């Protein structure tokens, strides 16, 4: 029952995604998809393990710099550049995760924030990052040596494939036995330990997966906007991904995707409101926290459920 | 470049004193944040914005009503405290039964609104506020030139921090407060109005932020963005001190001011990062912060 | 989902219909003003730049039967946001030219996009001299100022007038480093010496520690190679610590008249700055500034004047060329000298630099000022040839 409905939604969304660039500006869509990967990666931790990371900008931005550097300066092809971004994010995730998972709750969040600030500091100090100018004009020419991706329209489908792969991976993780253990940790950690699971191993693996996917988002984004900059590693970026996930719905599969689209849409289309941008953003967050706490997707799901249960 | 060994001991002493002065601001701000967290379990992300509003209220009082610095030092915290009470009663109150993530996000939204409104109204480059006549000028201490106003900042913040500590740890009101933090249900069973205490605590905490804002107004430009960079540092101070610990936040505030001051001499580029380095190390060694208790 | 850009921001200027002009695509010339409207640089650029662009469109008058439309957006100082907006403007909204764009990181991104998509880029907000150097573009024109001009203007003039030892207070960012490097070279070339420098993180609020180091260096001049709130706070705290009273002088390498306004003369007096525009230069600038002030409530900054200059020159070129074809308009712009209320016969160099004079100003003491916004007195004029980096040194590939 549940499965068929999800499948129907999936197919409808897929059709929508394929047709979208004919209607909506592709660069905007690509950016939103990258942030959707980022938010899904973050949601893997908070939504399914119950760990609030406040330093995900480190993996997003760190991998963005690496991908931009290897593509621009070393001339590596895009697929290798993205992979090296992901690899660096995974290594960072392994290092930071090993330190951070020893702490709980708000302290976990603070350790991740502190470590992410170190990465930010390195990004400011290191020569190759280009300071506040960032790494600009990252080339985007061919994929696998024969697909021309300099065109935004074509590249959109590449990004869509990357997104779908990431989403499928997350879906697999969440619905695997591994994912079940993660949820058990979220619900009751001592109990999970007593059942004989090595909780820290599970947490660390989830952390590394989340960081790598955040890295995938960051290094893909580099090729969308063709630049990597300090904005990507700033703590505000870590805050933004929290907001996306929350707006869309914590712990729901589609929530982060919706949240990412909403926040990116706001950023893009509110820019015409000039001076009012901050105020409008603030009002929206306040309203979400007060009235739509389950997030957009969470609210819809709850409404759907209530309606079904209400019907005879 | 600044030579590492070239620094004379008296110059170092000057830098330490400056660090202590900056630490005063961290101490007052983190104290407010700690009091609020201890009582409400809310991480008040709007603290930086309320600090900014405190400075702006002082500026407006002077500009529109001709009310000077000394009166502002009392009036501005009261006005901002009232604003805080309004926020607590209308918004924050709805979130107490939830994870503190929501309190943090709500106050983050509020901070954006306040910063946006003030920016729209007063511009981004800010407004000047002059040092009160009584405190202008400076003294040559031999090792450095100390503006009198900076000396006043240390004195004022020490008084405020001590007074707060005294009220919370040594008075009856304070004992209710601490008890209510531990077990609100039990305390209200004794006939104490817990919601009102929560309201007062929040108002007091943001009043402290406003007080810091007025203190800062003559030193820093009164600008809409003055709190947005500070909040994350103050946040770190509270965590290092131990969430909710009064003594912890004050001691850590001054201590980090000094550490930051020293970094400004030896490795100035890292002076904003050093606090996070300290935070990471402290949390890895002492999970609940320097003065915190593990729950 | 397909929202129209800048719903609130449309400031269409419908000019009376004239003879049909087939050369201008869709009979609309759209200029997008992209800048910081909510952050640190909103006062220097922001809505004031949008107003300046509208005034320019008004002054150039009708071009055939076309409509000139000014749209704007806030890039929030994020290169990602800025580049997406510009791509969308060009691809979907058929924007012909981009104006302003403060913050070098965003400007560099826009320069790349406008180069690739062949649209004109009328810069006045960004400072980096790389925009007419390594990152130059046949469609990019730098109208108001650059880091080289600021550094040379302040560095050379002050050193020659006796301020021959310098200490730099530098923002630890690329633009800060560039300012420090260029100013340091200018100081040395003029026979001075740099005795030290300290680099502070961006958005530092307390500068006392750095100022103390500057004070102890005994340098005659303390050069502030930072911007925005950092500069304002360092000047304010320098006054508090008696730096100027103690005989040292402050030189702001990137200070705008709006910053001085925000600081007040009491604090800012004696400060030496380089700007290519000040509202009270002559009758023409006063006339323009009065029009601007009546609508905006503030005097125009150098950047806002630069936006006017850029937009007006662009529209005149469109008019003269009778087309909005980017290559032809760019050629026309290069061919004709820039002339407007504060620019007199300024040529445009191959690398896109507008060759205008720069001026060294000193901030007046409160007693000298006759009223609000009467802030500067002229110290020296730096001729364009000195204010601009020599063409061959920039590394621009358009220069043969």
Q: For A131-189, how does the pLDDT look when each residue is reduced to its tens digit (9 = 90+)?
A: 778 888 888 887 787 788 788 888 899 999 999 999 999 999 999 998 888 888 888 88
C263 interaction partners in chain B (CB closer than 8 Å)? 128, 221
Residue A164 in any domain: the answer is: yes
Task: Please judge whether A124 and B269 are an interchain contact, meaning their C-beta atoms are less than 8 angstroms apart.
Answer: yes
- Weakly modelled stretches of chain C, pLDDT under 70: 1-24
pLDDT-above-90 percentage for chain A? 33
CA distance A177 to A175: 7
When CB atoms are compared, the residue of A118, A243, A281 closest to B276 is A118
Query: Which chain C positions have a beta carbon within 8 Å of B51's beta carbon?
Result: none
Q: Does C201 touch chain B (CB under 8 A)?
A: yes
Contact A69, A135 (CB under 8 A): yes
From A289's Cα to the closest Cα of chain B, the distance in A is 6
Tell me whether residues B115 and A99 touch, CB distance under 8 A: no
Which residue, among C105, C116, C134, would best test binding to A if mutated, counting the most A CBs under 10 Å from its CB? C105
Q: H/E element holding C363?
A: strand C358-363
Q: What are the angstrom distances between the C-alpha of C183 and each of C54, C126, C151, C380, C384?
A: 35, 18, 4, 17, 17
pLDDT of residue B285: 87
Q: Is A51 on the interface with B (CB under 8 A)?
A: no
CB contact under 8 A, A274 and C79: no
What is the nearest CA distance from C79 to chain A, expressed in angstroms? Answer: 7
Chain A residues with CB inside 8 Å of C1's CB? 23-24, 265
pLDDT confidence tier of residue B1, bands split at 50, 70 and 90: very low
pLDDT class for B8, splitting at 50, 70, 90?
Answer: low
Let me know if domain C148-275+357-387 sits in CATH 3.40.50.2300. yes
Tell me, what's the pLDDT at C19?
Answer: 35
Least confident interval from A116-120, A308-312, B146-150 = A308-312
| Partners of C362 in beta bridges | C272, C377
Contacts of A271 in chain C (CB under 8 A): 73-76, 81, 85
Q: Scanning every residue of chain C, which has its alpha carbon at the shortest distance from the alpha carbon of A280?
A: C38
Contact A277 B239 (CB under 8 A): no
Distances (CA, A) of C141 to B31, B193, C114: 52, 67, 11
Instruction: Compute CA distances C329 → A283, C102, C119, whole Å.
Output: 44, 23, 10
Q: What is the pLDDT of residues A269-293, one digit of tens each?
A: 776 676 677 788 888 888 888 888 8
pLDDT > 90 fraction of chain B, expressed in percent and rounded: 34
A117 to chain B, any CB pair closer than 8 A? The answer is yes
What are the extents of the domains in chain B?
A: 29-226
CB contact under 8 A, B124 and C172: no
Which of C196, C205, C209 lies at the smallest CB-CB distance from B226? C205
Report the Cα–Cα distance between both ends of chain B, in Å, rounded: 47
Contacts 24+ apart (CB under 8 A), A10-19: A13/A254, A14/A164, A17/A160, A18/A157, A18/A160
The partner residue sitting opposite B116, judged by closest CB among C38, C197, C267, is C38
Distances in Å between the Cα of A199 and the Cα atoms of A100, A185, A251, C131 are 14, 7, 19, 53
DSSP A228: B
Average pLDDT estimate for B34-51:
89
Is there a contact between A231 and C202 if contact means CB atoms under 8 Å apart?
no
Provide the pLDDT for residue B283: 86
Contacts of A125 in chain C (CB under 8 A): 172
Burial degree of C1 (CB within 10 A; 0-12, 13-18, 19+):
exposed
Q: Which residues of A touch B119 (CB under 8 A)?
A: 275, 278
pLDDT of residue A300: 86
pLDDT score for A65:
94
Mean pLDDT value of segment B72-98: 92
Contact: C259, B125; criterion CB under 8 Å: yes
Lowest model confidence (mean pLDDT) among A100-104, B287-291, C3-7, C51-55: C3-7
Q: What is the DSSP letter of A141?
A: -
Give the model's pLDDT for residue C43: 86
Residue C7: which residues within 8 A CB-CB, separation 6 or more? A272, A273
Q: Which parts of chain B fold into alpha helices (H)?
A: 9-40, 47-65, 69-90, 100-122, 148-170, 172-182, 184-189, 194-216, 230-241, 246-266, 274-285
DSSP codes joined into one string, A147-197:
EE--SHHHHHHHHHHHHHHHHHHHHHHHHSHHHHHHHHHHH-HHHHHHTT-
CB C214 within 8 A of CB C222: yes
Cα C143 to its chain centre, rounded Å, is: 7
ipTM of the complex model = 0.82
- B95: buried, middle or exposed (CB in 10 Å: 19+, 13-18, 0-12)? buried
Q: Supply C10's token pair.
A: 């449309």
> Does A12 fall in a domain?
no
Q: What is the pLDDT of residue C16?
A: 31
Domain limits, chain C: 11-145+282-355, 148-275+357-387
Q: Do C42 and A275 touch (CB under 8 A)?
A: yes
Q: What is the DSSP string of B173-242?
A: HHHHHHHHHH-HHHHHHTT--HHHHHHHHHHHHHHHHHHHHHHHTTTS-B-TTTTTTHHHHHHHHHHHH-
**Nearest chain A Cα distance for residue B19, angstroms:** 21
Residues in B closer than 8 angstroms to C216, CB to CB, are 11
Nearest to A52 among B101, B279, B280 (CB): B101
Q: What is the mean pLDDT of residues A8-21?
A: 85
B268: nearest Cα among C199, A126, C207, C180: C199
Interface of B with A (CB under 8 A): 43, 91, 94-95, 98, 100-102, 105-106, 108-117, 119-120, 232, 236, 239, 243, 269-270, 273, 276-277, 279-280, 283-284, 287-289
Q: What is the average pLDDT across B270-276?
A: 87
- Count H helices and E strands in chain A, helices first: 13, 2
* Residue reference for tokens 């490795």: B267
Cβ separation of A27 and C84 shorter than 8 Å?
yes
Compute the distance between CA of residue B131 and CA of residue B129 in angstroms, rounded to an integer: 7
Domain for residue A6, yes or no?
no
Taking an 8 Å cut-off on Cβ atoms, the answer to whether B269 and C197 are in contact is no
Q: How many CA atoms lie within 13 A of C45 on its CB side?
A: 30
Which tokens hold the place of C228?
A: 């925005």
Average pLDDT, chain A: 87
Give the number of B-C residue pairs with CB atoms closer than 8 Å. Answer: 119
Give contacts of C 207-226 with B, CB under 8 A: 208-210, 212-213, 215-216
Residue-level pLDDT at A156: 92
Q: Considering only alpha carbons, which residue of chain B is nearest residue A46?
A: B101
Judged by CB atoms closer than 8 Å, whether chains meet at B280 and A114 is answered as: yes
**C264 Cβ under 8 Å from any chain B Cβ:** yes
φ, ψ (nearest 5 deg) of residue C78: -110, 120
Q: Give which of C105, C113, C104 is closest to C84, Cα–Cα.
A: C113
A277 touches chain C (CB under 8 A): yes
Contact list in C for residue B19 (CB cut-off 8 A) is: 209
Decide if A226 is inside a domain: yes
The C-alpha angle with vertex C36 and arms to C33 and C38, in degrees rounded to 5, equals: 130
Residue C17: predicted pLDDT: 33
C193-216: b or e for each residue (b if 16 or more CB lie within 10 Å)?
Answer: ebebbbbbbbbbbbbbbbbbbbbb
Cβ neighbours, 10 Å, residue C12? 12
pLDDT at A87: 95
Exposure string for B191-212, b = 16+ CB within 10 A, e = fewer? eeebeebbbbbbbbbbbbbbbb
Q: Report the pLDDT value the prediction gives residue C23, as an integer from 0 to 100.
A: 66
Closest CA to C176 of C195, C155, C201, C194: C201
Domain that holds residue A94: 26-234
Please count the structural domains in chain A.
Answer: 1
pLDDT at C197: 92
Q: What is the mean pLDDT of residues A109-126?
A: 89
Instruction: Between B74 and B221, name the one with better pLDDT.
Output: B74
Domain-embedded: residue A184: yes
> How high is the pLDDT of residue B294?
54
Q: Inter-chain contact B221–C196, Cβ cutoff 8 Å?
A: no
The CATH code that applies to domain C11-145+282-355 is 3.40.50.2300
Determine the Cα–Cα distance for residues C303 and C124; give it in Å rounded to an integer. Answer: 5
Please tell me if residue A64 touches chain C, with a CB cutoff of 8 Å: no
pLDDT at position B88: 92
Please judge whether A130 and C174 are an interchain contact, meaning their C-beta atoms are less than 8 angstroms apart. yes
The CA distance from A253 to A47, in Å, is 9
pLDDT band at residue B252 using 50, 70 and 90 as cut-offs: very high
């Amino acid at each position: 029952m549940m499965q068929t409905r999800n499948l129907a939604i999936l197919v409808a969304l897929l059709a929508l995604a394929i047709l979208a660039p004919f209607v909506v500006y592709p660069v905007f869509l690509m950016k939103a998809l990258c942030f959707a990967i980022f938010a899904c990666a973050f949601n893997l931790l908070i939504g399914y393990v119950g760990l609030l990371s406040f330093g995900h900008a480190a993996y997003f931005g760190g991998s963005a710099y690496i991908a931009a550097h290897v593509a621009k300066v070393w001339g590596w092809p895009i697929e290798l550049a993205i992979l090296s971004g992901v690899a660096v994010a995974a290594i960072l995730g392994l290092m930071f995760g090993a330190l951070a998972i020893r702490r709980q709750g708000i302290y976990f969040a603070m350790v991740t924030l502190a470590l992410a600030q170190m990465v930010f500091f390195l990004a400011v100090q290191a020569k190759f990052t280009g300071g506040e100018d960032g790494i600009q004009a990252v080339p985007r020419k061919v994929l696998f040596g024969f697909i021309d991706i300099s065109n935004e329209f074509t590249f959109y489908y590449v990004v869509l494939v990357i997104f779908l792969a990431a989403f499928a991976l997350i879906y697999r993780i969440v619905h695997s036995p591994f994912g079940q253990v993660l949820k058990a940790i979220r619900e009751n950690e001592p109990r999970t330990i007593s059942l004989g699971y090595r909780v820290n191993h599970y947490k660390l693996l989830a952390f590394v997966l989340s960081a790598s996917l955040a890295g995938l988002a960051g290094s893909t984004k580099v090729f969308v906007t063709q630049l990597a900059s300090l904005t990507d590693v700033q703590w505000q970026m870590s805050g933004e991904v929290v907001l996306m996930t929350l707006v869309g719905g914590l712990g729901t599969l589609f929530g982060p995707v919706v949240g990412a689209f909403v926040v990116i849409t706001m950023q893009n289309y509110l820019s015409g409101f000039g001076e009012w941008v901050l105020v409008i953003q603030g009002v929206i967050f306040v309203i979400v926290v007060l009235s739509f706490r389950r997030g957009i997707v969470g609210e819809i799901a709850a409404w759907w459920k209530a309606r079904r249960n209400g019907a005879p | 470049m600044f030579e590492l060994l070239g620094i004379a001991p008296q110059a170092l002493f000057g830098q330490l004193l400056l660090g202590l002065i900056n630490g005063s601001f961290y101490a007052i701000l983190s104290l407010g944040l700690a009091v609020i967290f201890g009582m409400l379990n809310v991480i008040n992300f709007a603290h930086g914005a309320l600090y900014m509003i405190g400075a702006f209220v002082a500026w407006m009082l002077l500009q529109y009503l001709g009310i000077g610095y000394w009166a502002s030092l009392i009036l501005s915290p009261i006005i901002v405290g009232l604003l805080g009470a309004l926020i607590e009663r209308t918004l924050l109150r709805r979130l107490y039964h939830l994870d503190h993530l929501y309190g943090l996000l709500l106050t983050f939204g509020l901070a954006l609104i306040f910063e946006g409104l003030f920016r729209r109204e007063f511009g981004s480059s800010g407004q000047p506020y002059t040092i009160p006549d009584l405190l202008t000028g400076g003294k040559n201490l031999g090792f450095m030139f100390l503006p009198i106003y900076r000396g006043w900042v240390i004195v004022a913040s020490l008084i405020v921090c001590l007074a707060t500590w005294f009220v919370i740890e040594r008075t009856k009101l304070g004992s209710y407060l601490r008890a209510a933090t531990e077990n609100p249900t039990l305390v209200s069973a004794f006939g104490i109005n817990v919601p009102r205490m929560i309201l007062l605590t929040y108002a007091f905490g943001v009043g402290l932020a406003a007080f810091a804002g007025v203190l800062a107004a003559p030193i820093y430009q009164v600008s809409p963005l003055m709190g947005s960079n500070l909040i994350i540092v103050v946040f770190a101070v509270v965590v290092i001190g131990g969430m909710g610990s009064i003594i912890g936040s004050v001691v850590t505030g001054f201590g980090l001011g000094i550490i930051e001051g020293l970094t400004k001499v030896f490795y100035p580029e890292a002076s904003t990062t050093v606090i996070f380095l300290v935070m990471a190390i402290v949390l890895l060694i002492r999970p609940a912060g320097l003065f915190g208790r593990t729950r | 989902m397909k929202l129209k850009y800048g719903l609130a921001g449309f400031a269409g200027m419908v000019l009376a219909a004239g003879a049909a002009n087939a050369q201008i695509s869709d009979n609309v010339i759209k200029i997008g003003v992209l800048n910081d409207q909510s952050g640190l640089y909103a006062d220097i650029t922001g809505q004031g730049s949008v107003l300046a662009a509208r005034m320019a469109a008004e002054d150039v008058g009708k071009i055939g039967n076309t409509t000139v439309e000014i749209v704007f957006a806030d890039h929030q100082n994020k290169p990602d946001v800025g580049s997406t907006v510009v791509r969308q403007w060009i691809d979907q909204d058929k924007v012909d030219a981009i104006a302003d764009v403060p913050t070098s990181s965003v400007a560099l991104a826009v320069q790349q996009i406008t180069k690739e998509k062949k649209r004109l880029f009328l810069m006045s907000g960004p400072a980096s001299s790389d925009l007419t150097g390594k990152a130059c573009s046949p469609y990019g024109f730098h109208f108001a100022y650059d880091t080289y001009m600021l550094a040379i203007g302040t560095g050379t003039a002050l050193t020659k007038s006796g301020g021959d030892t310098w200490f730099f207070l530098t923002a630890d960012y690329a633009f800060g480093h560039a300012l420090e490097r260029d100013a340091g070279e200018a100081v040395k070339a003029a026979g001075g010496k740099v005795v030290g420098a300290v680099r502070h993180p961006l958005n530092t609020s307390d500068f006392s520690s750095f100022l103390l180091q500057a004070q102890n260096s005994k340098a005659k001049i303390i050069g502030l190679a930072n911007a925005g709130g950092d500069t304002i706070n360092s000047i304010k705290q320098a006054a508090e610590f008696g730096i100027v009273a103690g005989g040292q002088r402050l030189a702001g390498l990137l200070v705008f008249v709006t910053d001085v306004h925000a600081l007040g003369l009491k604090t800012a007096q004696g400060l030496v700055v380089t700007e290519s525009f000040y509202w009270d230069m002559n009758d023409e600038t006063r006339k323009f500034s009065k029009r601007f002030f009546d609508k905006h409530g503030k005097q125009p900054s150098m950047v806002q004047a630069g936006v006017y200059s850029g937009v007006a020159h662009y529209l005149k070129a469109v008019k003269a060329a009778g087309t909005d074809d980017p290559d032809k308009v760019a050629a026309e712009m290069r061919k004709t000298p820039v002339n407007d209320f504060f620019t007199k016969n300024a040529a445009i160099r191959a690398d896109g630099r507008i060759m205008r004079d720069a001026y060294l100003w000193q901030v007046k003491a409160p007693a000298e000022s006759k009223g609000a916004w009467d802030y500067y007195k002229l110290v020296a004029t730096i001729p364009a040839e000195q204010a601009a980096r020599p063409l061959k040194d920039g590394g621009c590939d358009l220069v043969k």
